[in-house]
Every structure is written in structure tokens, then in C-alpha cells.
Amino acid sequence: MTYNIITIGCQMNRADSERLSFYLEKLGFLLEPNFSKADLVVIVSCGVKQSAEDRVYGLAHRIMKGNKKAIIALTGCLSDREDVKSRLAGNAKIFFNISDLMNLDKSLKKYFPKIKKIFKQDFKNYLEISPNRFSSFSALVPIGNGCNNFCSYCVVPYARGREIYRPAKDIISEIEALVKVGYKEINLIAQNVNSYKSGKLDFPTLLKKIDKIPGNFWLRFSTSHPKDVSPGLIKVLKENKKICEHFHLAVQSGDDKILQAMNRKYKINDYINTVRSIRKSLDYKNGLPAAITTDIIVGFPGEGKSNFNNTKNLFRKVKFDLAYISKYSPRFGTASFELKDDINLEEKKRREAELNILLRKYALENNNKYLDKELDVLIEGVDKKGNLFGRTRTSKIVRIKKASGKRLKEKMLGRKKVCIENNCADRKLIGEFVKVKINQVKEFELEGELIKSRPQVLVILGPTASGKTALAVKLAHDFNGEIVSADSRQVYRGMDVGTGKDLAGYSYKGKDIPYHLIDVCSPKNVFSLAKYQKMAFSAIDNIISKGKLPILVGGSGLYLEAVIDNYILSAVKPIFGQRDEYENLSLEQLHSRIKKINPKFFKGLNNSERNNKRRLARFLEVLLSENDFSPKKGEPRYDFLIFGLSPDREVLRERIYKRLIKRLEEEDMIGEVERLKKSGVSYKRLESFGLEYRFIAYYLQKKITYQQLIDKLFIAICQFSKKQMSWFRRSQKQGMDIVWVEGVEEVKNSLESL
């Protein structure tokens, strides 16, 4: 069973289609992108104008012509109209009001007896059904449905019924979830957002609450009825940063007599004053004038020349950035349907063209203010010519012209092709914010070039003894790089042999490779994850500023993630030395403590981690040391190219053993621990570093023999390397894009092919 949805009309219809798609897939339908091959085709119709209605008749005919077995279902504005039903009787089989979506299965059963039974929740309204989102970065979030305004020309109150609104808590939790998974634009939609009510909570309060949701996203809303734009809303526009500087305010006509006949309930002076207040709040909030857009109907019954002139005057006064101009279309059942449609089509077209001339003039005048400005743009896609395009906060379309070959070369900053120009990585930027410098403007479009994108960082990760450092050093040599260590123990001075801190190894073919985040703290002091992150960011920024390639190298999963996922951490000092105490707790106690601090973190632990007391104690220590530590991801600061080394387990075991014996017998690892002890690092503190330091401390305290030291430490290092691999695999499952490689050639080839 396959389905296809054809959506006509407004954003609300698109949001309905997202819910419809989810519902149909729950019933067992699979999406068929070509409607002439689908078993079920649902048309989400628009009845606002006759032209939109006519599209439905044309479509139904075309579908049946190419796909005789298709079952056509109709929803949207036209689904309840008896005349439409009889006109489509030969073609469409099912008609349903979208507010009755929960019961669509009953009608479908007749034609698709194999549809799955779905557990029906007690939905108060269909908006509670989850959507299958059509975009992965810009979300439509309906806050309500229906309209109580009864503008005399409009079918919406008849088609969608009276206003209903979703509870604020549902809307907020939906948006929190969207932002967590990376949505960059939230569009609140309803026929009249300003009428929103959830108990005592009104629309401005809802906006304020949404604006407070942590994360980097833009907030938009539409549509607003001019009569309902309150001073409270205007105040909120100014004070809340995520609300974009674009206001769509449909005016319909510039003439008071026509507005009255349209039942719009405001006068044109009220409208102009409202626009002024909006501009006062939004203008230059983000460096540019606010954009005001509108809807207009030309040729409404009784619209004489002077009435139309008033609309032209309104265009001169307001200088809209965009206007959706419609020719009046009498709609059956509406109040104005009873009026004589006395302006002929030619005249309506002429008026439309006249307004378009004014619109173009003022839109260009407005856009001229964008020349040479650097703007944030949310990238939406790549056009047929391969240019990226997106939108500004003011909703202006921006096209980013491809950098020329020459300029591209200049921008490579001395690294071989590790660049993030739009030629190299254009699709990667879809759904991302970028900075663009505008160098050309048109009436309805701006053109510019990418001036800043996230710099690129190379990551080499892998378990202990996998050869990460040697690989990174070679790459740093070949790609003009510097190394940033992500090793939680190499940060400590004097802990060299035990951590494999081979500083002589940071040299290749006679060239020294600069390194960072090694030897930055005394082992007597504590070093927190937050401190690591701060220093790593500063090292990376510094490397980038020199035009070099930062290479983040290490095996400490938490440290790597703190940088890659830009963990939001509070800089609170860690509480060290309590791990022993935590290790004395039972598994259940450890579970419940971790769960209490961070349930999400606990959920992410795998079985072996949950059954390992030492590991849990370490987690608890880290969680507590970071106070409100929560691996909440921030907006990534860089683009990461992550390579992982994962040698065969047996090879690794052999390497670990040989390395251990060498360190003990030839490199005086025991002497190193003795020296640390002598310099004032307690056994307790040494044990807290784990592995080599823990077991040698046991040996020095005569708790174990030399042979036990070798045996136990070897097992512990092997287990540790297994755990490192589980951590990386888990990160990968949670979305970290790791390319597993065997050696330097593979990494080089990947970099060259970028």
C-alpha cells in the first residue's frame, strides 16, 4: 500500500500534510513520491480562491487518467462542500475534514482492508497527532486551528470551523524537542496567532516562553490580524532575541470603506500606527530595518477608483517588502458572495499590475539598505545552478554565488583542500546558519558571498595503543597542522611514561609539530572537563587564526565529545578523591544517584557500563564535579572530520603487552610513580588516575607483587581499550560521524578527495 499527498495552499495545509503523512504510515502505507503510481492520493485542498479550487478538479482528473486504480481522498478547505463532492464524485472516493483525521482509518478500510489497527489515543484534536516533518531544520508548529473572524470574503471559518488552541505546555515541549535535535527555525502558525489562549496564557507570553528555550534558533509566526496586535505583543518583539525582524500583517485594502465591507474591524490609520509601532520595536534589532509584508485583495465588490487609490497610497506610506496580491474571487457561502462582483477581470488584473509596480519600487528601495552588509542566513538548499540559497531573519531570499576557482584557492589557508567553501561542502550547509556579505540586490532577492563558515577541525580518535599520535603527527606534517590532545591524563605534568606521553614523537622528518593541552596542570591539582573544553577551544581558535589545521587527537571519549558536541558545561571545580567512596556503593545505589543527576546520561549507558562499579563511580565523580553536568549539546563551534582507528583486538592486545613490558623494564615507569609520590602526590590521588598509576601505587604499597602488577594491569588496560571502543560506538550511534580507517594513507586520500 503506497500513498502520496498533494498539498495546495497555505502553511497550515502543509502542517496538516505532515500529520496526515505520519498517520498514513502508522496505518502501514509507504510513501510513493510519484502520485501516478500511488495506491492512495490525498489532496489537501485550498478553497480561498476559485483558481485554487480549479486546481483540485484538474489534479483529480490527471491522477485518474494516469493511475486508474488510485483511490483519491480530499481534505482541506473544500472537503465539506457538497457541490465539490458531486463534481468530484467520479474521481474522489473519500472526503474528510482534517479535524477528523483520527477517524480516517474507518473510511480507508473499505478500500484498503489490510491497513494496520492503530492504538487510538484520546486526542482532543488532530493537532495532537505527531507530524512527519518535511524539513529537517525548519519546523511548522501549529498553535491552533480555525478562525472566528468571518472576513466577508473568506471561506476559512466555514472550512476549518471555530478557533481551537493547543495547550502551551505541549507547544513548548514540542519546540524543546525540535531544538534539541537541531531545528534552526520555528514557525508558529495559526489563522490568527494573536487570538491564542491557553488558560490565562496569551500569545505574547507564549512567545516569551519559547524565546527562553535554550538553543540557537529563529522564531517566526504567522498570521496576525491587525486588529489583534496588542501593545504587549509589540513589547515582546523588541525584548526577545529569537523573534525575527519580519512581520506579516495582512491589510487586504488601503480604504476604510472597503475594510468595513470586508468586516476587517480596523481603520487604515490604525493599521499604519500598528506598523509604526512594530517597526519601532523591530527596526535595527539585528542591524537592519524590519521587513513588513502583507496580503491584498484587489477588485473587492464596490472598490471604486478612489478606494483603490487609497490602497496605492498605503503602499507609498508603508513601503512593503513583499505583498501577496490576489484578485477578488467570490466564494460560495461567504457574506460577500451575496454582493455583486462588479469589477471585471481585466480591471482586477490592471490594479494588480499597478500595485506590483509600486511594490517592486519600494522593495528595491528597502533592499538597497542590505548592500555591503554582513548577514546571518539560514541555508535552505542548492539551486539548479549549484548556488546555495537561504533566508535572512527578515525573510529575504539570499543566493550565494559560487566562489570562483581562483578565490577558492586563495581561501584554502595553506591546507590541502580541507576547506569549507560552498563548492566543497554546499549540501553540508543546508540547515545551517552562515554569514553572507551582500554584494547585489534585486527587488525580491539578495546576492552575496559566504564570508564565514565554521572552520574545520580534524579529529583522530581510537583506543589506547592504536597509534593515534603517530598518525596525527604525520598528518600535521603534511597538512600544516597542530595537535590538540584529548587525553584526560596527559594534561598532568610528570605523568609521562604511564600516559604514553612521548614528547619526542611530536616531530616528523626533522620538523617539530606543535602540541597543546599536554602538561598543563600539576597532578596535585584538579583539572575539570569544563577547563579542558575552554583551553581546547582557545587552542583550536589560535591554530585557526594562524591559518593552520587543528588536529584533535585522543582516546578520552568525554573530552572529545565536550569539544565536538560543544557541551554546555558550568565551570565548577571537581570533587576529586571521592571515587573510592563511590566504589563502595552498590550498583543499585550508583544507578539511582546517576539517574537522579542526569537521567538522560544514565539512559545512554550500555550494559557493560551499567554493571561496572568502577566505571559508574567515575561517571558519578565526573557528573558531580561538573555540578549541573549534563551532556547537553550546544551549537557546534567547528565542522569536524572525524577519523577513528580500530586495530584488530588481538593485534592491540599484543601491542598493549609489549608496550607495558617496555614501559616497566626500559622506561622506568615505576620510578616515575615513585617520583610523583615523593613530590607530594598521595597514593590515593595516584590511584584516582587509574590504570598504570593505580596499579603501581598498589605495588609500591606492597598490596600486589610485581607479577600481579603485570597481570592485573595488562587485563585492566585491555578492558579499558574495549570500553573506549564501546564509548566511540555509542557516540557514533548517537550521531557522531566517524570514518574508521586503518592508517595514514586512507585519511590522506579522504582529505584529498574533499
Sheet containing strand 185-189, edge to edge, reads 138-142, 185-189, 218-222
- The CA angle 324-282-284, to the nearest 5 degrees, is 110
Give the whole-angstrom CA distance, residue 127 versus residue 141.
Answer: 9
Q: Please, what is the minimum distance in Å from the beta carbon of residue 337 to ligand SAM?
A: 9
Residue 149 or 522: which CB sits closer to ligand SAM? 149
Distance CA 14, CA 2 (A): 19
Q: What is the CA radius of gyration of the chain?
A: 32
Query: Mutual orientation of helices 305-318 and 268-282 as an angle, nearest 10°?
Result: 10
152 contacts: CB under 8 Å, gap ≥ 6: 261, 262, 263, 334, 335, 336
CB 49 within 8 A of CB 326: yes
Which residues, 172 to 211, sit near ligand SF4 by CB under 6 A? 191-192
Pick the closer one to ligand SF4 by CB: 225 or 663: 225
Print the binding letters for residues 97-136 with ligand SF4: x by CB under 6 A, - otherwise: ----------------------------------------
Q: Which of ligand SF4, ligand SAM, none does 331 bind, CB closer than 5 to 8 A by kind? A: ligand SAM
DSSP codes of every residue in 527-576: --HHHHHHHHHHHHHHHHHTT-EEEEEES-HHHHHHHHTTB---------
Tell me which residue has its CB nearest to ligand SAM.
250
Determine if 392 is a binding residue for ligand SF4 (CB under 6 A): no
Which of 49, 184, 225, 246 is close enough to bind ligand SF4 by CB under 6 A?
225
> Residue 326 or residue 490: which is nearer to ligand SAM going by CB?
326
CB-nearer residue toward ligand SAM: 193 or 741: 193
* Minimum distance from residue 441 beta carbon to ligand SAM (Å): 27
Scan residues 10-49 and list those touching ligand SAM (CB under 6 A). Answer: 10, 48-49
Contact between 314 and ligand SAM per CB under 6 A: no
400 binds ligand SF4 per the rule CB under 6 A: no
| Residue 4 falls in which region: left (phi positive, over 0), alpha (psi -120 to 50) or beta | beta
Whole-number minimum distance, CB 391 to ligand SF4, in Å?
24
331 belongs to the binding site for ligand SAM (CB under 6 A):
yes
Is residue 499 involved in binding ligand SAM (CB under 6 A)? Answer: no
- Name the residue nearer to ligand SF4 (CB basis): 147 or 314: 147
- Alpha helical stretches, state H, 447-511: 468-478
Cell of 544: 585557526
At closest approach, how far in Å is the CB of 223 from ligand SF4? 7
Count of other CB atoms within 10 angstroms of residue 259? 24
Q: Closer to ligand SF4 at the Cβ: 163 or 487?
A: 163
Three-state secondary-structure class, residue 66: helix
Q: 3-state SS of 355-376? A: HHHHHHHHHHHHHHCCCCCEEE
Cis peptide before 705 (omega within 30 of 0): no
Choose the contact partner of 499 out of ligand SAM, ligand SF4, none; CB within 5 to 8 A by kind: none
Applying CB under 6 A, the span of 198-206, 327-335, 367-375, 682-690 interacting with ligand SAM comes to 327-335
Residue 434 within binding range of ligand SF4, rule CB under 6 A: no
Helix 305-318 to helix 345-368 angle, to the nearest 10 degrees?
10
Q: Which is nearer to ligand SAM, 156 or 725 (CB)?
A: 156
From 151-159, 436-444, 532-540, 683-691, span contacting ligand SF4 (CB under 6 A):
151-159
One-letter amino acid of 460: I
Question: Which residues contact ligand SAM (rule: CB under 6 A)?
Answer: 10, 48-49, 153-154, 156, 191-192, 223, 225, 250, 252, 295, 297, 326, 328-329, 331
Question: Which residues contact ligand SF4 (rule: CB under 6 A)?
Answer: 147, 149-151, 154, 156-157, 191-192, 225
